[in-house]
Amino acid sequence: MSFFDSLKRLFGSSSNKDGQGGGMAPSDSGGNAGMEMISCEEARAVLYEYLDGELEGLSYEQVKAHFDVCAKCYPKLSLEKSFLAAVAKAGRGEKAPPELRTKVLRLLEDAKRA
């Protein structure tokens, strides 16, 4: 499948009723030629795994290529990245109470045995 065929699949026609289309965002698509482009639905379904570096089934490059070119999905990615950064910043210097750590470890052990 050519790069242009991938873009056609990704963006569909302007009368696409399922909301899968979108505009183009600036990107460096040079390294993605020959890679099958995934749909908006596929990209959004693995957004959190992508951000956490825990993708299964799709490659990081496939998901990144989609977010790099999809003006409809990129804002969601940007929002989630900003949220994670804010959570990380708010939690700096904070430590969970020892009781919480003990309770979580106990629950993990219980789940492992079940």
Reported as a single tens digit per residue, the pLDDT across 62-95 is 999 999 999 999 999 999 999 999 998 988 888 8
What's the domain range around 60? 3-113
Query: How many domains does the structure of the chain reveal?
Result: 1
Q: Is the pLDDT of residue 18 over 90?
A: no
**Is residue 76 packed enough to be buried (19+ CB in 10 Å), middle (13-18) or exposed (0-12)?**
middle
Q: What angle do CA 75, 76, 80 make, to 5 degrees?
A: 115
Q: Which residue has the tokens 């470890």?
A: 105
38/31 Cα distance (integer angstroms):
15
